[in-house]
Structure 1
Amino acid sequence: MSPPKTPFHPFSVLLLAASLLSIPSTFAQTLNPSCAPGGNFDLSNFSLQLPIGQPGSPTTISPDKLAGCTGFQDKDHFFTNPDDGSLQMNVPGDTSTGCVTTKNSKHCRTELREQNPSSWNPNAPTNRLSANLTVVSAGGSTCIGQIHIDDAISHKPVAELFYDDKGHITVGMEQTREGGNEKTFDIGDVPLNQTFSYEIRYEGNVFSVVLNGGKPVEVTTFQLNAPKSYFKVGNYLQGKTPSTVRFFGIEVTHG
């Protein structure tokens, strides 16, 4: 299955890249499997949250510490895959494994959080998160990308893109800023260990998801009134067993 070609935008921030064989041209560049992720990819606009640390306060790595070929990596959770150069994110399982969650969540994660901008206006004409990835194991179910409401407004997401061990992809949409009333919508199916692409859009106060370059699936039933938001991308485990996600490309576009 061939992923779509992502159009270049002057405000694009290129985060990750991968081989010409499976990745759109906007992502394509040679990766050095011997480098930490920061040596291959520009992580200057993202912080990293790991499933380790103190209860209620997971370890967070700042963008400056991620930078460079000798920058931060964690052999258990966040590292460059030595075989294909992808950015591999692992989660060991649920809290029974000893992994650490935030105080507002019961789930462990290895996840990048957009920092610059720290939040943006959903009424703007362009707000997009694009990714190419392979889910090796979903641990039951994991969130591979999300839009989160600005922390000063709410601790709830706008939307979470879920992938389960059957390869079923859904999006969970909160209906209010208070949360607790999420509705789930089907997006499509991609088998485990198959590379695919997605694009999450929240622009003109309309939310949509594009899978493998297909027709955007719009979800407009929620009543959030366009709160300031930010993107997150990674492996935010919803299940109980270990999960592994390998990213070949991630691109954030605002404008």
Structure 2
Amino acid sequence: MSYSKQAICTTLLYFMVSGVISANETRALDPKAPPGHNFDLLDWNISLPIDTNKDGKVDTIPEAYLEKGFQIAPYFYTREDGGMVFTAFVDGVKTSKNTKYTRTELREMLRRGDNRVKVQGVTKNNWIFSSVRGQEHRKAGGIDGRLEATVAVNNVTITGKPSQVGRVIIGQIHAKDDEPARLYYRKLPNNTKGVVYLAHEPRKGDEQYYEFNGSRSSNAKDPVDGIALGEKFSYIIDVLDNTLTVTLSREGKADITHVVDMKDSGYHKRDQYMYFKAGVYNQNNSGDPKDYVQATFYRLKNSHKGYEH
């Protein structure tokens, strides 16, 4: 569902209406402010793993309400250090019948609250690769894209099938039907640290995986170069033409980068449109119902050629 103002009031969801900062301003994160007052969220909506009006659909909070200061603990709120928290339990509501897992996840909305613009399709709400030819360049909200984030994963699942335990997606590029990029963090229950890895999904053919700092295997040993729960790290997901470049950055360590050639992946077709996603997409549906994933974002910036905000 998409929330109306009345629905938000009736479910006692908290939001504030002052102090929004522009995309060009920078300042320390305020632990007393809701996420939309610390981050420019006018070009995002959020899917929550709850269904407050029992219509069989997840609750989707539109751009304007995020900007005004919407938050709802324990799913989406401001942490004591000012970070933007995302939480998804195993037993939460799923976004559709075809979705296996729960999420608390931002979806890029380049229309920035202009409801006259269609959400799906090659419209001003979405972006395309510069490898797409034809009039789509004028129709799209932007060309190519870059997502920059600083994040700490606070919790991962510790119960469930060995193939699912400990996995969470923290950033994505989503296309019309497929996902050119999914960025995972995974920590196994017996390991002290976790790893980051990338999945690229061509429109046809097998998925391709790229490991950054250790094995994504379900029986991997404790990674020597791993990332602990609560440890901050940064990532960049960048598309230029048919090239996907993803970089993992950590303080005091050299960057790790993977470059993916997407010329044969099928995203240069005229019907393919893109949008970034960020937050937590729980990759475990077999664990205990109250087992959960959680991450805190300290920086989030999206940019595109031809997109001004």
- How high is the TM-score relative to the length of structure 2? 0.65
Range with bigger deviation, 218-227 or 36-45? 218-227
Structure 2 partner of 1:50: 48
Matching residue's letter, 1:219: V
SS at match of 2:266: coil
Q: Is the 8 A contact 1:46 1:63 kept in 2?
A: yes
8 Å contact 1:55–1:101 — kept in the other structure?
A: no
Deviation at 1:126, TM superposition (A): 4.7
5+ residue gaps, structure 1, are 1-13, 16-25
Give the superposition deviation at 1:136.
0.8
Q: In the alignment, does 2:109 pair up with 1:115?
A: yes
Q: 1:237 aligns with which of 282, 286, 308?
A: 282
Gaps in structure 2 of 5+ consecutive residues: 1-21, 111-123, 132-142, 158-165, 189-193, 214-225
How much has 1:72 moved relative to structure 2?
1.3
2:222 equivalent to 1:172: no
Which residue of 2 is the match for residue 89 of structure 1? Answer: 86
Q: In the alignment, what sits opposite 2:233?
A: 196
Q: What residue number does 1:77 align with? A: 75
Give yes or no for contact 1:187–1:209 (8 Å, CA) kept in 2. Answer: no
Secondary structure at 1:199 match in 2: strand
Q: Compute the displacement of 1:190 (Å).
A: 2.2
**In structure 2, how many angstroms separate the alpha carbons of the residues matched to 1:114 and 1:229?**
9
- Aligned equivalents of 1:32, 1:123: Cα separation in 2: 38
RMSD, aligned CA: 2.3
User: Across the two proteins, how many residue pairs are aligned to each other?
Assistant: 220
CA contact (8 A) 1:57 1:103 kept: no
> Whole-Å Cα distance in 2 between the matches of residues 146 and 50 of structure 1?
17
The alignment partner of 1:52 has SS state of coil
Alignment partner for residue 214 of structure 1, among 250, 255, 258?
255
Contact 2:83 2:297 in 1 (8 A): yes
Residue of structure 2 equivalent to 1:149: 175
Higher-Rg member (1/2): 2
1:160 Cα offset (Å):
0.6
What is the one-letter code of the residue matched to 2:49? P
Q: 2:168, 2:185 within 8 Å by CA — same for their partners in 1?
A: yes
Question: What's the offset of the Cα at 1:215?
Answer: 5.0
**Structure 1: distance between partners of 2:202 and 2:28:** 42
Per-residue CA distance 1:106-163 (angstroms, 9 max, x = gap): 110000000105221222775100000000112210000000003xxx2x21221011
Structure 1 distance, partners of 2:183, 2:82, is 24
TM-score, with length taken from structure 1:
0.78
- Secondary structure at the aligned position of 1:67 is classed as helix
Higher relative contact order (CA 8 A, sep 6+): 1
Distance 1:144 1:84, change over 3 A: same
- Per-residue deviation at 1:67? 1.9
Higher strand share: 1
